[in-house]
Structure formats: structure tokens, C-alpha cells
Structure 1
Amino acid sequence: MNNVEELKQFAISHARAQRVPLERCESVLARIAHDGDGPGSWTAEWSAAAAESERQGRLQDACSLYYVARFPFVDGPARAEALTRSQETFARWQSESGAGLQPLDIELPEGRVQCYTTGLPVRGDRPCVIVLGGIVSTKEQYAQILLRLAKLGLSGIATEMPGTGSNTVPYGPDSWRMLSGIIDAVEDRLNGARVYAMALSFSGHTALRCALEDRRISGVVTMSTPVSRFYTDPDWQRALPAVTVDTLAHMAGTGSDEIGRHMRDWALTEQQLQALEVPVAYVSSRRDEIVPATDTELLKRHVRRLTVLDIDDVHAAPTFLDMTGPWLTLSLLRMHGSHLPQRAALRSVVSLARARHRLAGHGAVSVHRGTGI
């Protein structure tokens, strides 16, 4: 059973990323006392809030609240129901709103991958972006990014990490093959377009690994991604939040006390990082409680075509969401060489956000560029 106080700590940032108002979060959290069943439980209270939004026709809100109700992963009937309701309300919203997202199911030898797509088949010299999040993120959460990319004229595919949400592919050292499998499945609709991975948190590790093997990956934009020490240092692993350890163990199909040894060989080596030929854009949080700062330093030392946005914040830089998303999108357009009019607008958005945070007295922000930029 999950530690409720720890769930509350981490769910706030995930709910904020889903644009759930802080007052709404605090109202629900005040009613939660345990992680069992029935009134006062984590899943019941979030699901009740979601059902209220659903009755009022606020389907996007309902989807987000059901998403938090199944946080961090499905461990029984209640969270399984919350995941299903999150998926159903999202599908209903996108159908009724005419958002233009298309579902795509891919059967791989290892399992089933569900996606949403936009802009396929690709027309013209525009990239296709594969979007996926971390170990607790669902495709519905990141499908919203596809809509923003579509406004730039970009094609996109939103999916989930292995072992997360609806993805039945096992999470392991060969998980990178899933990205290659997705590209294989849509290659006839890409029309030669370059493919980029917007892979956030743990999925960034998968994307970097894939870029080493699959030359169809033309670049990776990511944030708060574990690279090496996270996987190899038992002392660091012992200090990780229990929710992180338990979620990784669930995804990998092993025990929480075994996951450290299970992942030890997954670390990217200095030689692999030096062999990366594609550009990489990375948002690093200096006070990250999950990804060690030494992993960022390793990237800086060995990845030639690297740009790092260093932010004084915790994992995934939740205080700077208004800045990190536009910066990652801008980085993607720079990689591709797209000279869209929106590129200048994104530069302005990033600059204004940086100025706001500086005036608000938030942590410092700096940019590092590798020798190959």
C-alpha cells in the first residue's frame, strides 16, 4: 500500500502539469486519509471529484482527475477503473471537440502499444514527433502536446512507456525497441519525414538508447532523464522516494527490493554517449530528488551536440512549466531547421517566462551548449 503523504507530495506537481487548479487539488487532498478502499481513500476521493467534473461536462478536467486517481500505477480494481474512466472521458472529449486526434493500436511481438496521432500521413518537409512521458504518465496526458504541435504544422504520435497505462510491452533493457516498432508501423505514412523523440523523464533514457541503434531518430528533447548513476549507485537508490521504486518495480515485473539490481546494466556508458550523433536538448533540475546531478554532468562531458537548460528546481521543474515546454518545442524546431513564424514567438515566450521567474525570485536558470552545437 502506498504512503499517502508521499503520494500527496508528488501528485501535486502531476496535477499541476495537467492544469488542475491548486485549490481543487488541496480540496481533494484534504479529504484523503488512506490508500485503501472506500470514502477517504486516495482513489475514491479523486474519482469522486472526476465524476463531478464529468457530470458537469468538463471532460478534460475529468480525464485529468481520473488520471490522478490511478496514480502512480494500477494495483487493484479501483485504480484499474480510474484508468479506464480517464481513457473513456478523454476519448469522448476528443470526439466531441473535433480535436482531430486519431487512435492507433500497434501490436508488437512484446506487447500492445496504444497511441494517439495527428497529421498522418506527413505532408511537406515537416517532422514527426513521438511524445511520451515518464513512469506514471499516460498517453492521454501527453496527447495535449500533439494539439500544440499540430498548430505548428507538425505531425505527432503520443504514447506511453512500457508497463505504463495501456502499454503491455515489458519494461526492460530492450524497451528502446518499442520506439523502433512505432516507426515501423507508421513508416509508410511518414513519407520520408524526419522523426524526433520528445521523451520526458524516464522515457528519455529509452529514446537516447534507441537513437544509438536506430538512425531514423533525428533528435531527442527530454527533461529530468536518468542516464547512468541512477541505475548503478545503490546508495542513491536507497534514498529514492518509495513511489518511484515501487512504480519501477511494477513496470519491470520485479520486487521493490530487487529493482536496483535488476536495472544495474541499463546505464548508458561514456562510450555510448560519445557515440550519439543526434542533437539532444535536456532540461536539468539542480535539486532533482530522483535523477542525480552527476547524470547531467555526464551528458555535458560526453554528448557533443547537447544543449542543457539548467533550472534550480526539483524533479521535472514543476515551477517552470510555462518555460520548459516552449523551450523543448523551440529546441525541436532548431534541430529540424524549421523557420516557422512561430519559432520567433516561442523564443519570446521562453524569454518572458525566464524574466517572470527571475522577478519572482525563483531559482536561477542557465544554458549549456556542447562542442558540437
Structure 2
Amino acid sequence: MTDSAAALRLAEAKSFVGLHARHMGLRTRRVQDTLRRITALDGEQPGSWLAEWTRPAEEQLRRGHHQAAADHYNLARFPCADTAAKRRAEQLAAQSMLGLLRTRRHGRRQTLVHEGREVTFLFGPGRRRSAPLVVMMGGIVSLKEQWGSLLAAVPRAGCAVAVADFPGVGENGVPYSRTAGRVFSALIDAVAGDCDAGRTLVVAPSFAGHLALKQAPDDPRIKGVVTVGAPLQEFFVDPHIRAAMPRITRAALEHTCGLPPERLDAQLAELALSHDELADLDLPVHYLASLRDEIIPTTEWRRAAALNPRWRVHAFDDVHGSPRHVTRIRAMILGDILAHAGRRHTARTLGTLQAIRPLHAVGPLIRPRPARTGHAS
């Protein structure tokens, strides 16, 4: 790799990691101080990405700050655990979260076997066994430990919660493929005795949203999907869009699919959701979009919303993941969880306080088809 290519990859990594740091609640100044010390994306030497994120992780662990330690180890293996040292950081993130679970006792680790592969996830039981379920799955570059705070927050809102890694990431041994979404049903099965799994809301940002939308028609227990910037169709089939994706995204996709670079594009082309699949999806979908998304074209969600009247879209004037609107996105997702728990009045009040309204800046590209009937909801 040339020096210029390596510098570009490092610049991309520094740019993209800001979104995840904000979602983790890490202080901006400390994140920027760490990024300034990083001069290489690869290697384990001082100044490398791994070394400079591992140092604050170890410091947080010594202080007994398990969540902060897990967050920093998460960033140390960003964007994917493609070396032995980064896999070790991934393991240390999981161990740090286990320390948090033992200390606060508001959740547990569980492991299921799906299609011969182990999937370890975090589970926070609701305050009652009749509580509906929320399944949370992150995207291709983040670990489930990033969402550890949900183990306490979601039960307080009235639901049980299962938090899992994306296929091919962390402790999810299932590779990313067109059928990988079946792991959502496996997760629901695994906790069905501890909650009302027949009422499940899936919260799945980015590529996890794609899998959730693929699996939802096959599992009537899934009553709704909330996603942030999910690819649907064009991302997978348009060669120009694929060619323009950031190197960080491509590297993470190669890792999650378990494929060499030359085979990735053919695999992605098989993942696209068809027009009929989008139009026939008979459950509520809340899609949080970004108007300046550098990965997902805006035509993805505009076309889907035009095809299916059950889609509700909020579009922010921001880049992928809307990092400048994290607080509002959290409020929207919390509102969806509260509504799923039956606390609709509280959800409406939260929406009013946040001045949350759908933002549809551009009219539909396709005339909506009539709503279909007779499908499982």
C-alpha cells in the first residue's frame, strides 16, 4: 500500500470513528486528543490506532470504569478485528462488559447456537415476564458492548432487551449473507421464556436494518423495525455506489462476509431487497435518514417510503448516522420503545418536547401502491 493510500485510510478512520464515540458518550476533547496521537492505522507500535486506543481502555479498566473500558477497546479494534491484536481488543471489550454486568447486575450474557455457529448476546430482562421484547443489533463496525447502557434503560421503559453483534462481528459467528437475518429469530427464540417475545421490536442501525427488514416477513413476532441509514437496494446493485463507498466500509464488509476483496461485489449484489419485498413489508418501519449520507443514497429510503405507506421517515441534514443529531435520534428511538411498551402517552410527550416531526424534503419518486392486506403483522 502506498503512503498516500495509507494516509487516506487513516483519515477516513478518524472521520468515521467520531460518530461511534458520540454514541458512546465519550468526551469530544479526549477523543480528539487520542486521534491527534495516532499516526498509523496498522501495527501495534506507539502512535498506532490500536496502541493509542488501548492505553485509555487499560486506564479506565484500572479505575473500575467497565463501560468506558469496553468502549475504548471497541474503538481499538475499529473498523474490524482483522488481526490477532485487534481480536484480543474485541475479547477485552467483552470481558470489560462482563465486569459491568457483575457489578450492576442488570443483565446477563447468553450464548445460542445458530446453524452450527455460536452467537453470544446480552440480555436485560423486563420488570415483568409479560414485558415485550426489544432486539438491538449494531452495524458492521461496532460491538454490542457499545449499547450496554440499554440493558438498564430499556427495562425502565417497560421492555426486555437482547443486544447482539452484527453477523461476522464480535461474538456473532454467523457470516453476513442474505439469510443471516435468521439470527434475529434465533435471538427471539432464546429469550422467549423470559418475556413476551411474541411482541418484538427490532432496533437495527445501518446494515443490521437491512437484515431486519429481510427477516421480518418470515417472523410474525417482529412487530416493527427502527433503523438508521440502512442500505436497501441501490447500494447493493449499483456499481458506482459500491465503488464510491469508503475504504473503511469495504474493509468491514469483507470481514463480516468472510470474503476476499475480489468476491465482495458479487456477494453484495445478492443482498439487495427487491421492490416487491419493500412494498409487501406489512409492519411499521421507522427509518432515520441522512440527507448527505456518503454511504447510503437518499433514493433508497425515498423509494421505499413511496412504495410502502407503513414507512415513516425522518431525514436529517447530516452525513451517515447523523452524528450531529445523536440526541434527537436517541429520543426518537426511546419514543418507539416506549410506544412498544404501551406507554404511548409518554412517547408522544417525549416527541413534543423534542419537536420531532417527519422530515420529507422531497416528494415520492414512485406513486405509492395501495396497502396490502392478509399479511402477518
Q: Same fold per TM (> 0.5)?
A: yes
Tell me if the contact between 1:323 and 1:349 (Cα under 8 Å) persists in the aligned partners.
Answer: no
Name the counterpart of 1:18: 24
Q: Structure 1: which amino acid aligns with 2:63?
A: Q
Answering whether residue 359 of structure 2 is matched by residue 366 of structure 1, we say yes
| 1:93 to 2:100 alignment | yes
Counterpart Cα distance in 1 of 2:116 and 2:290: 33
Q: Which residue matches 2:113?
A: 107
Cα distance 1:187–1:121, how it changes in 2: closer, same or farther (>3 A)?
A: farther
Which of 32, 37, 43 matches 2:38? 32
Alignment match, 1:357: none
- The amino acid across from 1:366 in the alignment is L
Q: Percent identity?
A: 31
CA deviation digits over 1:230-268, x for unaligned, max 9? Answer: 000011111110010111011111122331221102111
> Which stretch shows the higher mean deviation, 258-267 or 270-279?
258-267
Matches within 5 A, 1:215-230: 215-230=220-235
Say if 1:244 and 1:165 are closer, same or farther in 2 by CA, change over 3 A.
same
Q: What stretches of structure 2 of length at least 5 have no aligned partner?
A: 372-377
TM-score between the two structures when normalised by the length of structure 1: 0.90
Within 2, Cα distance between the matches of 1:142 and 1:337?
Answer: 19
2:81 matches 1:74? yes
Contact 2:234 2:272 in 1 (8 A): yes
1:304 deviation in Å?
2.0
- 2:201 is paired with a residue whose SS is strand
Matched, 1:196 2:201: yes
| Moved segments of 4+, more than 4 Å | 367-372
CA distance in 2, matches of 1:246, 1:180: 27
Task: Describe the superposition over 1:155-180 as per-residue Cα deviations: whole angstroms up to 9, x where unpaired.
Answer: 11000111011111111111111111
Give runs of aligned pairs for residues 313-328 of structure 1, distance below 5 A: 313-328=318-333
Q: Say whether the 8 Å CA contact 1:221–1:332 is kept in structure 2.
A: no
Q: Which among 193, 197, 214 is matched to residue 219 of structure 2? A: 214
> Residues 321, 344 of structure 1: CA spacing in aligned structure 2 closer, same or farther, 3 A cutoff?
same
What's the secondary structure of 1:94's corresponding residue? Answer: helix
Q: Could you tell me the TM-score, scaled by structure 2's length?
A: 0.89
Number of the residue aligned with 1:272: 277
Where does residue 154 of structure 1 map in the other structure?
Answer: 159
What are structure 1's unaligned runs of at least 5 residues? 355-363
Across the aligned residues of Structure 1 and Structure 2, the Cα RMSD in angstroms comes to 2.2
Question: Where does residue 354 of structure 2 map in the other structure?
Answer: 350
Q: 71-80 or 229-238, which moves further after superposition?
A: 71-80
User: Number of matched residues?
Assistant: 358
| Pick aligned residue for 2:168 from 158, 163, 167 | 163
Please give the alpha-carbon distance, in whole angstroms, between the structure 1 residues aligned to 2:14 and 2:196. Answer: 45
